């Protein structure tokens, strides 16, 4: 059975569906999963990753069944000798960038904002203890970059997110950024 795993930071919301986990010491387990993300800079921009704003807003991100993503993403999981599950994925997926005051996701779902463009982003993500087993410090994060195009031209998109959860349960945000700028 799949579990929804979420990470919410000051400027990043990423949801993943965790697939089957490889047996301890066995080979990595690969599966196709409906992974998507929504990232805001809480200033001007909201980036929808592998899901349209319309599809996200229909259920306000609270999906009863697998979310209506644009593409399934190949995810790799491996259980360590101490019980932690390491998950990684790399994919080039659909992206939308919206401009809205305050980078307000709810405003977009209520009809405000302007779609700047659509295109693709490459995203790479790693989590060295997906279910926070407590057997080690959990380091996790993602990096993305890509281009979207709209009526007013092309836009370059980049972002980085890095965080830790220590064995004592302390959360440390190391990096959280989203940059959207006109392409040259």
pLDDT by residue, tens only, the chain of 184 residues:
222 222 333 333 344 444 455 556 678 999 999 999 999 999 999 999 999 999 999 876 677 788 889 999 999 999 988 889 999 999 999 999 999 999 999 999 999 999 999 999 999 999 999 999 888 999 999 999 999 999 999 999 999 999 999 989 999 999 999 999 999 8
Give the DSSP letter string of 6-47: EEE-SSEEEEEEE-PPPPTTSPPEEEEE--EEEEE-SSSEEE
What confidence score (pLDDT) does residue 22 get?
53
Tokens 């360590």 belong to which residue? 80
**Coil, strand, or helix at residue 110?**
coil
Q: Which neighbouring-strand residues pair with 120?
A: 94, 147
Closest CA to 68 of 79, 60, 76: 60
Strand duo 171-182 + 3-8: pairing: unpaired
Distances (CA, A) of 31 to 11, 20, 87, 104, 119: 28, 8, 11, 33, 25
pTM: 0.84
Q: What is the pLDDT of residue 20?
A: 52
* Residue 85 Cα distances to 23, 129, 152, angstroms: 10, 5, 44
Q: What is the CA radius of gyration of the chain?
A: 17
Contact 108, 100 (CB under 8 A): yes
Output the six-digit token pair for 145: 């970059």
CA-nearest of 51, 147, 159 to 108 is: 51
Name every residue whose Cβ is closer than 8 Å to that of residue 51 and which is 6 or more positions away in sequence.
Answer: 36, 38, 67, 68, 69, 70, 94
Give the pLDDT score at 23. 53
């Amino acid at each position: 059975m799949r579990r929804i795993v979420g990470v919410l930071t000051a400027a990043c919301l990423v949801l993943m569906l965790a697939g089957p986990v490889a047996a301890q010491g066995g080979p990595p387990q690969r599966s196709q999963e409906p992974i998507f993300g929504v990232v805001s800079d809480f200033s001007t921009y909201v980036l929808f990753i592998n899901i349209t704003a319309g599809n996200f807003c229909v259920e306000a991100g609270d999906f009863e069944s697998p979310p209506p993503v644009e593409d399934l993403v190949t995810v790799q999981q491996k259980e360590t000798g101490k019980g932690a599950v390491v998950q990684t994925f790399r994919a080039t997926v659909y992206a939308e960038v919206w401009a809205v005051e305050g980078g307000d996701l709810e405003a977009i779902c209520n009809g405000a904002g302007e779609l700047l463009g659509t295109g693709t982003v490459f995203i790479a993500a790693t989590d060295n203890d997906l279910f926070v087993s407590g057997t080690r410090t959990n380091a996790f994060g993602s990096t993305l970059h890509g281009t979207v195009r709209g009526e007013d031209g092309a836009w370059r998109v980049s972002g980085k997110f890095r965080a830790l959860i220590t064995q004592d349960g302390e959360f440390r945000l190391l990096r959280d950024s989203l940059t959207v700028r006109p392409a040259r």
